[in-house]
Chains A and B, each alone.
Chain A
Amino acid sequence: MFSKITSGSIHGIQCVLTQVEVDIAKTMPAFDMVGMLSGEVKEAKERVRVALKNAGIKLPPVHITVNISPADIRKEGTAYDLPIAIGILVSLGYIPKEYAEDICVIGELGLSGEIKPVKGVLPIVKEAAEKGLKACVLPFENAREGAVIEGIRIIGVRDFAEAVEYFSAPEKEQADYAFEKKDGLAARELFEASRQEMEDFSDIAGQEACKRAALIAAAGFHHMLISGPPGAGKTMIARRLPGILPALTLEESLEVSTIYSVSGLLDKERCLITSRPFLAPHHTTTVTTLAGGGAVPKPGLFSLCHRGVLFLDELPEFSRECIEVMRQPLEEKKIQIARTQGTYVYPADFMLVAACNPCPCGFYPDRSRCHCSEREIRRYQNKISGPIRDRIDLNVTAETVDIKALNEQKGSISSGDLQKQVMQARKKQEERFKGTRLQFNSDISSKEIPLYCPLGKDEMKYMEKIFRTLNLSARSYHKILKVARTIADVEEEDRILVRHLGEAVCYRMQEDLEYV
């Protein structure tokens, strides 16, 4: 007899619903599995056989054939154990065929029959709900995660016997088994309930220029470079940045949570990422950790801080490859990993906040303390290659704050106030970019500059003068205009004014080291 159970497969971070087809023929006893399966999927055969036996179900001597379709997508992971086992029971007639229809089944089986949690539940349940399936049977430990998605019944099962019990119940009764929503929360409630408290900008005394630059960076989603001597508080500024970005929307939250779910990093209790990710990998990290990859590709840190902030402290200390691999995500906001079995695409739309010392010892240009030679300084600064430099719009220098000033300067602006300004600027950008692919001012391409950043007569003259005196390149011209656009948005001005341009010029990246 033949049966078909719906399950899900993760490809990159997308879910493809798959059909686990089981056929039982009364010929020579055998257990065959096909459908482009990886090693761990093929091993399901043994787990299923023993689990069935231990659950008290005796397999008759039959030829079992399992095919997982579509057969041209590589299947990975251990989530196929449960659908295969259920499929066999349906084929053997233990479970009525119609009881298992329109139900998505995922789960790993232990030999004792217990059902173990799997990765990537969120995207599978989401896809199942979108495809209109009525229920999803999944490991109990993943039930909370699955329950985040509305519009589909979630059934969490602890062991195989429970699963069989559920499938044997007539449809009317099946509803009773549903995972109690009060234990887990639906996305919206969970989302509202678990806003995290973040570190606040008001903790930082002084550093007014850095705070201002952080505000502008957050408002226009500009990448930012903070340079300054060790101990100036570069990390403190970066850590507080996610807190002034607008809160994640529900869609964004699901998007980010999906990436975490696929990586198996979703918190079991709080099954949704509700605040913007902030990741600060150490400079000894590898390309694979950052970009993702491995024989079975997994999202890297670039994707894990999707919609959040990636903070690279001591940027020049990162290996050349690590810095260069950032080009694609910075440009295309996604990262592509090619493997023999296919190309995986992970989203990677993050805000890069990099910090660096001005020279190897950290004190340049204070020549009474810095002893680095010109060559050393150049080599150090050149580690941030041109293409990466080009994509950083804001450059600001942090200074060591002396303790007296720390105590005296009061009334530091709080994250809440900054966030309000960011939201206003975002609102202006939303209106401006309505119906286009653009989201933020930082997305404006050089071609679109005249369209979105028009200058008045006075402003044009001012820019020309700046250009002549400061000897700027065309590239910095575009960056300055984009940043000026954001500054104008922050100040709720429709037009870019001279003062916006002036401020933007002060944050430009240095083009060449003037060594004197």
Chain B
Amino acid sequence: MYSDREILYFLQSIPGIGNKTIRQLWNYFPSSGQLFEAKEEELRQILKPGQTTSFLRAREALSPAEKMAELYRKGIRYYSIFDWDYPMRLRAVADAPLALFVWGELPPEDCMTAAVVGARYHSFYGAKHTKYYSGLLAEKEIGVVSGMAKGIDSIAQEAAIEKGGKTYAVLGCGVDVCYPEESRKLYEKIPLHGGIISEYLPGTLPQAGLFPQRNRIISALGDILLVMEAKEKSGTLITVDMALEQGKEIWALPGRADDALSAGCNRLIAQGAGILASGADFMGELDLLKEKYEKKKGAGGRCGWKSGILKPEGAGNLKPESAGNLKAEGSGILLAEPRASDSAKEADLDAAILSLLRYTPLSLEAVHDGLYKKTRVSRSVQELSVRLLDLCMEGKIRQVNGGFYITV
């Protein structure tokens, strides 16, 4: 006799048999034992001829126990819906996955988690704030759940690891497939700082149809959802819809009214989502939320990796006062104090440059023209380039991709 989970994995690993069919089979037979032992005629009641042949052939080959052992040898853990350690967060979901394949670990039940999602094609602005908020979450020992996609997802997970936090990536392919290929470094780091999770069989290649499906797991595994940057119509908003269905709290990063990449977030805020306008405020909220979620799960003080031996190095780098800085910069006030040694003219120019630069990178040419439009004074390229470089060195602005400048 085999256990339910072994038989479930056995069924999942048969090519041509999907979750829907498995559910049908499960409902048709009184017990999993009978399902496994079923005769061909019985199987034909539910399965198509091709599926029946695959079923029989698979039953001839390896036993479910052997198959399971093979999976564990690869270092992949298997959590079926029949197991006690299947995540509680997922059990509540209407279309809960039958099983999860995990490389690394699942987010602990008694630890708060937050899903951080956003556009694949993001802006410097989105990247900066994602790093910042993801860092805050890690600081508060809140696991960051995301999809390891290009853009915001990867940045969030990278930042969490950097700050010594935990992060969980839910993939739309097998856990042993790195997609996108650019994220390989991150992909290899995550299992050491959390886990890679998928409901698909190892070896499943990424398919467009699988990705919206995994979004429901991302939203379900996160106790709250942070939306960093999203267009009016985007995949990110699918995750938001699912999170709303699951009754999660949504937080969104506000943007400028005319910024296409922020349109989705601004709309969410208009509809009542929490606003990520200040790091300090969010930190305050996080404390309350943490209490709420961790109490709900009855964990008390047990939670958190910081308290135990798991405390990673580098945690606690993020000082609360940095939140204050962010606020000041974000509001676009010219805070560049004139340096005593420099002439007033230079300071004026610096201030003008700082007020001009945003998160959209500007080239030397664009800075020149922008300053002219703003101040009606034409400055020489020589003068400007030297000032820009000085500001870079002072750490007030940054030069990226050759000739482009942004605020830090």
Cα A510 to Cα B260 in complex, Å, equals 28
CB-CB contacts of A335-368 with B at 8 A, as 1s and 0s? 0000000000000000000000010000001111
Q: Which of B259-279 contact A (CB under 8 A)?
A: 259-261
Q: Which of B150, B372, B380, B389 contacts A374 (CB 8 A)?
A: B150
User: Are B382 and A212 in touch, CB under 8 angstroms?
Assistant: yes
- B393 contacts across to A, CB distance below 8 A: 465-466, 469-470
- What's the least CB distance linking A472 to chain B, in Å? 11
A sample of 5 inter-chain contacts (CB < 8 A) reads: A396-B403, A397-B363, A397-B402, A487-B382, A503-B385
Cα A227 to Cα B361 in complex, Å, equals 14
User: Are B401 and A506 in touch, CB under 8 angstroms?
Assistant: no
The verdict on B373 contacting chain A, using a C-beta distance below 8 Å, is: yes
10 closest A-B pairs by beta carbon, nearest first, are A510-B402, A397-B363, A502-B386, A506-B385, A212-B381, A399-B365, A397-B403, A209-B365, A209-B364, A516-B127
The verdict on A499 contacting chain B, using a C-beta distance below 8 Å, is: yes
- B122 contacts across to A, CB distance below 8 A: 367
User: Are A365 and B404 in touch, CB under 8 angstroms?
Assistant: yes
User: Are B121 and A367 in touch, CB under 8 angstroms?
Assistant: yes
User: Are A368 and B260 in touch, CB under 8 angstroms?
Assistant: yes
User: Are A373 and B363 in touch, CB under 8 angstroms?
Assistant: no
Q: Which of B361, B369, B385, B404 contacts A405 (CB 8 A)?
A: B369
The verdict on A258 contacting chain B, using a C-beta distance below 8 Å, is: no
Closest partner residue, chain B, to A508 (CB atom): B402
Q: What is the interface residue range for chain B against chain A?
A: 35 or more
Residue among A367, A399, A503, A514 facing the most chain B CB atoms (10 A cut-off): A367
Cα A368 to Cα B262 in complex, Å, equals 10
User: Are A365 and B360 in touch, CB under 8 angstroms?
Assistant: yes
CB-CB contacts of B352-375 with A at 8 A, as 1s and 0s? 000000001101111011001100
User: Are B389 and A399 in touch, CB under 8 angstroms?
Assistant: no
- What's the least CB distance linking A409 to chain B, in Å? 7
Cα A365 to Cα B404 in complex, Å, equals 9
- A415 contacts across to B, CB distance below 8 A: none
The verdict on B378 contacting chain A, using a C-beta distance below 8 Å, is: yes
Cα A499 to Cα B260 in complex, Å, equals 39
Q: Which of A457-492 contact B (CB under 8 A)?
A: 465-466, 469-470, 487
Closest partner residue, chain B, to A396 (CB atom): B403
- A507 contacts across to B, CB distance below 8 A: 385, 403
User: Are B372 and A409 in touch, CB under 8 angstroms?
Assistant: yes
* Count, A-B residue pairs, CB within 8 A: 121
User: Are B385 and A502 in touch, CB under 8 angstroms?
Assistant: yes
- B373 contacts across to A, CB distance below 8 A: 405
Cα A458 to Cα B300 in complex, Å, equals 60
**Contact of A466 with B365 at beta-carbon distance under 8 Å, contacts A367-B122, A510-B401 already known:** no
Q: Which of B368-408 contact A (CB under 8 A)?
A: 368-369, 372-373, 378, 380-382, 385-386, 388-390, 392-393, 395, 399-404
- B380 contacts across to A, CB distance below 8 A: 208, 212
Q: Which of B180, B368, B378 contacts A209 (CB 8 A)?
A: B368
User: Are B369 and A401 in touch, CB under 8 angstroms?
Assistant: yes
The verdict on A375 contacting chain B, using a C-beta distance below 8 Å, is: yes
User: Are A516 and B121 in touch, CB under 8 angstroms?
Assistant: no
- A466 contacts across to B, CB distance below 8 A: 389, 393
User: Are A365 and B365 in touch, CB under 8 angstroms?
Assistant: no
Closest partner residue, chain B, to A211 (CB atom): B381
- What's the least CB distance linking A227 to chain B, in Å? 7
The verdict on A3 contacting chain B, using a C-beta distance below 8 Å, is: no
User: Are A367 and B401 in touch, CB under 8 angstroms?
Assistant: no
Closest partner residue, chain A, to B368 (CB atom): A208
- A498 contacts across to B, CB distance below 8 A: 386
- A487 contacts across to B, CB distance below 8 A: 382
Cα A122 to Cα B390 in complex, Å, equals 55
- B182 contacts across to A, CB distance below 8 A: 374-375
User: Are B402 and A227 in touch, CB under 8 angstroms?
Assistant: yes
Closest partner residue, chain A, to B258 (CB atom): A368
The verdict on B246 contacting chain A, using a C-beta distance below 8 Å, is: no
The verdict on B123 contacting chain A, using a C-beta distance below 8 Å, is: yes
- B150 contacts across to A, CB distance below 8 A: 373-374
